[in-house]
Amino acid sequence: MKNPAPQTIYLSDYTPPAYLVDSVHLTFKLGATDTRVISRIAFRPNPDATSKEFFLHGQDLRFIGARIDGAPITPDLSAEGLRYNAPDAPFVFEAEVEISPSTNTSLEGLYMSNGMYCTQCEAEGFRKITYYPDRPDVMAVFTVRIEGDLPVLLSNGNPVAQGEGWAEWHDPWPKPAYLFALVAGDLVALSDSFTTRSGRKVDLNIWVRPGGDEAKRAFGMEALKKSMAWDEEVYGREYDLDLFNIVAVDDFNMGAMENKGLNIFNASAVLASPETATDADFERIEAIIAHEYFHNWTGNRITCRDWFQLCLKEGLTVFRDQQFTGDMRSHAVKRIDDAMVLRAHQFREDNGPLAHPVRPDSFVEINNFYTATVYEKGAEVIGMLKLLVGDADYAKALDLYFDRHDGDAATIEDWLRVFEDVTGRDLRQFARWYSQAGTPRLTVNESYADGTYQLHLRQETPPTPGQDTKKPLVLPIAVGLLNENGAEVVPTTVLEMTQAEQTFSFAGLSGKPTASILRNFSAPVIVKHDKTNAERAFLLAHDTDPFNRWDAGRTLAQDLLMRMVCDNATPDTGFLNGLAAVLRDDTLDPAFRALVLRLPSEEDTAQALFDAGHTPDPAVINDVHETLKLHIAQHLQDTLPRIYADMTVEGPYTPDAEPAGKRALGNAVLALQSKLDGGKAAAQQFASADNMTQQLGALRALLQIAKGENELAAFAAQWGHDRLVMDKWFALQVSLAPADQAAATAERLTVHPDFDIKNPNRFRAVFGGLRVNTAGFHHRSGAGYNLLADWLIRLDPLNPQTTARMITAFDTWKRYDMERQRKIRVALERIAGTSGLSGDTNEMVTRLLG
Active site residue ranges: 292
Rounded-to-integer distance, Cα 116 and Cα 103, Å = 13
Which CB sits closer to ligand PHE, 35 or 303?
303
Residue 522 binds which of Zn ion, ligand PHE, none (CB < 5-8 A, kind-dependent): none
Question: How far is Cα 600 from Cα 579, in angstroms, rounded to an integer?
Answer: 14
Residues 464 and 350: beta-carbon distance below 8 Å: yes
Closest CA to 171 of 85, 112, 244: 244
Task: Give the DSSP H/E element, type plus range, for residue 806.
Answer: helix 800-806
Q: Select 291 or 386, whichever has its Cβ closest to ligand PHE.
A: 291
Q: Rounded to 5 degrees, what angle do the CA atoms 612, 614, 616 make?
A: 115
CA distances (Å), origin 30, targets 38, 182, 190, 568, 733: 11, 11, 25, 66, 41
Q: Which does 730 bind (CB under 5 to 8 A by kind): ligand PHE, Zn ion, none?
A: none
Cβ proximity to Zn ion: between 124 and 314 the closer is: 314
Show contacts with Zn ion in window 576-635 (CB under 5 A).
Answer: none
Q: Give the strand pairing for 488-497 and 475-482.
A: antiparallel
Residues in 350-409 that interact with ligand PHE by CB under 6 A: 370
Number of residues that bind Zn ion (CB under 5 A): 2
* Chain residues 314-373 in contact with Zn ion, contact rule CB under 5 A: 314, 317
Q: Which is nearer to ligand PHE, 120 or 693 (CB)?
A: 120
Minimum Å distance from CB 258 to ligand PHE?
A: 5
Smaller CB separation from Zn ion, 299 or 590: 299
Does 251 bind ligand PHE (CB under 6 A)? Our answer is: no
Q: By CB under 6 A, what part of segment 299-328 binds ligand PHE? A: 314
Is there a contact between 179 and 156 (Cβ–Cβ < 8 Å)? yes
Q: Residues in contact with ligand PHE, total (CB under 6 A)?
A: 11
Partner in contact with 370, chosen from ligand PHE, Zn ion, none, beta carbon below 5 to 8 Å by kind = ligand PHE
Main-chain dihedrals φ then ψ at residue 471, nearest 5 degrees: -105, 160
In the list 82, 206, 223, 256, the residue contacting ligand PHE (rule: CB under 6 A) is 256
SS3 (DSSP) at 94: strand
Q: What share of the chain is helix, strand, coil (3-state, %, to 5)?
A: 45, 20, 35
Which of the choices Zn ion, ligand PHE, none does residue 120 contact, using the CB cut-off of 5 to 8 A by kind?
ligand PHE
Q: In this chain, which of 60, 147, 279, 292 binds ligand PHE, going by CB under 6 A?
A: 292
Residue 329 contacts residue 230 (beta carbons within 8 Å):
no
* Residue 376's binding partner out of ligand PHE, Zn ion, none, with CB under 5 to 8 Å set by partner kind: none
* Three-class DSSP category at 296: coil
Residue nearest to ligand PHE (CB): 254
Out of 68, 224, 257, 271, point to the residue binding ligand PHE (CB under 6 A): 257
Q: Which of Zn ion, ligand PHE, none lies near 401, with the C-beta cut-off 5 to 8 A by kind?
A: none
94 binds ligand PHE (CB under 6 A): no
Left, alpha or beta for 508 (phi > 0: left; psi -120 to 50: alpha)?
A: left
Q: Which stretch binds ligand PHE (CB under 6 A): 50-58, 253-261, 414-422, 583-591?
A: 253-261
Instruction: Find the shortest distance in angstroms from Cβ 255 to Zn ion.
Output: 8
Give strand ranges (E) for 122-267. 140-147, 152-155, 158-163, 166-175, 182-185, 188-195, 201-208, 243-249, 256-257, 262-266
DSSP letters, 417-446, are HHHHHHH----TTTTHHHH--SPPEEEEEE
Taking alpha carbons only, the member of 243, 233, 281 closest to residue 263 is: 243
Please state the closest distance from residue 379 (CB atom) to Zn ion, in A.
10
Q: What is the DSSP letter of 371?
A: S
The amino acid that residue 443 corresponds to is T
- 108 versus 314: smaller Cβ distance to Zn ion: 314
418 near ligand PHE (CB under 6 A): no
Q: Which stretch binds Zn ion (CB under 5 A): 205-213, 309-317, 492-500, 529-537?
A: 309-317
Among 250, 258, 811, 840, binds ligand PHE (CB under 6 A): 258
Q: In the complex with ligand PHE, which residue's Cβ is closer, 109 or 784? A: 109
* Nearer of residues 120 and 834 to ligand PHE, judged by Cβ: 120
Nearer to ligand PHE, 629 or 758 (CB): 758
722 binds, among Zn ion, ligand PHE, none (CB under 5 to 8 A by kind): none
Residue 302 per-residue DSSP state: B
Q: How would you classify the pairing of strands 514-517 and 475-482?
A: antiparallel
Identify which of 604, 582, 601, 603 has the alpha carbon closest to the alpha carbon of residue 593: 582
Nearest residue to 261 via CA among 407, 166, 155, 136: 155
Residues in region 35-74 near ligand PHE by CB under 6 A: none
Return the beta strands (E) in 236-304 as ranges: 243-249, 256-257, 262-266, 303-304
Residues paired with residue 449 on neighbouring β-strands, in sequence order: 452
Shortest Å, Cβ 318 to ligand PHE: 8
Report, in Å, the least distance between residue 16 CB and Zn ion: 25
- Candidate ranges 31-39, 66-74, 252-260, 839-847; the one touching ligand PHE (CB under 6 A): 252-260
Please state the length of the chain. Answer: 850
CB-wise, 24 or 311, nearer to Zn ion? 311
- Select from Zn ion, ligand PHE, none the partner in contact with residue 122, using the beta carbon and a kind-dependent cut-off of 5 to 8 Å: ligand PHE
Closest distance to ligand PHE from the beta carbon of 256 (Å) = 6
Which sign does the torsion angle of CA 459, 465, 466, 468 carry?
A: positive
Q: How far is the CB of 123 from ligand PHE (least distance, A)?
A: 6
Minimum separation from the CB atom of position 299 to Zn ion (A): 7
Nearer to ligand PHE, 266 or 694 (CB): 266
Our finding on whether 764 is near ligand PHE (CB under 6 A) is no
CB of 402 to Zn ion, least distance (A): 18
| CA separation, residue 595 to residues 202, 284, 660, 670 (Å) | 39, 17, 13, 14
Cis bond before residue 123 (omega within 30° of 0)? yes
Alpha-carbon dihedral of residues 430, 431, 435, 440, nearest 10 degrees?
Answer: 10
> Measured from the CB of residue 801, what is the shortest distance to ligand PHE in angstroms?
8
Out of 209, 216, 260, 291, name the contact with ligand PHE by CB under 6 A: 291
Picking from 539, 459, 533, the residue whose alpha carbon sits closest to that of residue 503 is 459
Per-residue interface string for the shown chain with ligand PHE, residues 95-134, x marking contact by CB under 6 A = -------------------------x-xx-----------
Least distance in angstroms from the C-beta of 224 to ligand PHE: 14
Provide the binding-site residues for Zn ion, judged by CB under 5 A: 314, 317
Provide the binding-site residues for ligand PHE, judged by CB under 6 A: 120, 122-123, 254, 256-258, 291-292, 314, 370
